[in-house]
Chain A
Amino acid sequence: MDKKRVSFLSIFVFLAINVISLSKVIEGFYGKEYGHVYSFMIVALISTGLATIAFFTWRKQEYKS
C-alpha cells in the first residue's frame, strides 16, 4: 500500500481509538478511578498526535500534483 492510502486509513483507526479512549476516560472519571483517566487520556493524546501526522502526510500526497 502506498503512503497516501496508509495515512488515509490510519486516520479512521485513530478515530476509533479516540472514541474508545474518551468513553474509558468518562467511565474512569465518574467511577473515580483516576489512574484510568490519566492512562486513557495519554492514549488519546498520542493517537491525536499521530492522526495529525497522518493527516499532513496524506494532504502532502493528495495535493502534490
Chain B
Amino acid sequence: MTEDRKKNNQSANDQDMMKLVENLNRKEDVNLNRRAFLKASFGTTVALGLATTPFGIISAVRSEKEDSNQVEIASVDELAIGEAKNFNYPTEDEPAVLVRTPDDRYVAYNNKCTHLQCPVFYEKKDNVLLCPCHKGYFDVNNGHPVAGPPQRELPKILLEVKDGKVLAVGREYRHG
C-alpha cells in the first residue's frame, strides 16, 4: 500500500517538473541571450553608421554641381540704387531677387517665402523684403525674418562682381 502511494507521488512529482519546463522554447532560449543581444546591438550600430554614407556621397555630388553653376544676373549699371531685379537661380524653377541696397551693395536671395512659399518682393520705401501673403518681412541685408510668420531666413545667393557684371556663384541655406 505504501509502496503504491510512493510510486504515485513520484510520478506526480515528475509530471509537475515536466510542466515547469513546458513554457520554455529551446530555440528562443538559445537565440535570445546576452551574447546575442550584444551582437544584435553591434550589428545595429554598424548599420546605422554605414547608413550615413549615401547621404554624404549624394551631398558631395550635389554641392559640386551647385559650385560649378555660375550665372550672370545683371550688369553693374543696370540697377539703380534701391532697385531690384528678379531672376532664377540655380535652376529655372527657383526664383530669386537681386537688390542693390541703399548703401550700394548687391544682395540676392531666393524669393520663395520660407513660410508658405509665396513670392517675396523688395520694398524700397522701408528697405525690406516683403511677403504680401501673410505680411512676412525679411531684413534685406541678411535675409533673416524680422516680422510676421516666417521663422527661417531666405536662402542667400552668393554674388561676385566681375568685369562689370553681377554673377551668382553659389547658395547658402543657413547663414548669419
B8 contacts the other chain (CB 8 A):
no
**Across the interface, do B55 and A11 meet the contact criterion of CB distance under 8 Å?**
no
B50 at the interface (CB under 8 A from A): yes
A14 and B45 form a contact (CB under 8 A):
yes
Whether the pair B45, A22 counts as a contact (CB closer than 8 A) is no
Is there an interface contact between B52 and A15, defined as CB atoms closer than 8 Å?
no
With known contacts A33-B174, A34-B63, A62-B35, A15–B56 Cβ distance under 8 A: no
B56 to chain A, nearest CB (A): 4
The digit string for B47-62, where 1 denotes a CB below 8 A from any CB of A, is: 0111111011011101
Give how many A residues have a beta carbon under 8 Å from the other chain's beta carbons: 30
Known: A15-B41, A34-B63. A22 touches B58 (CB 8 A): no
Contact in complex: B56, A37 (CB < 8 Å):
yes
Q: How far is the CA of A36 from the CA of B130 in the complex (A)?
A: 30
Q: List 27 A-B contacts (CB under 8 A).
A: A11-B42, A11-B45, A12-B41, A15-B48, A18-B48, A19-B48, A21-B48, A21-B52, A22-B49, A22-B51, A26-B55, A31-B174, A34-B59, A34-B63, A37-B56, A38-B56, A38-B59, A40-B52, A44-B48, A45-B52, A47-B45, A48-B46, A51-B45, A52-B42, A52-B46, A55-B38, A62-B35
Besides A18-B48, A51-B49, A55-B38, 17 other A-B contacts (C-beta < 8 A): A8-B38, A11-B41, A11-B42, A15-B41, A15-B45, A21-B52, A22-B48, A22-B51, A25-B56, A32-B173, A37-B56, A37-B59, A38-B56, A41-B55, A48-B49, A51-B42, A51-B45
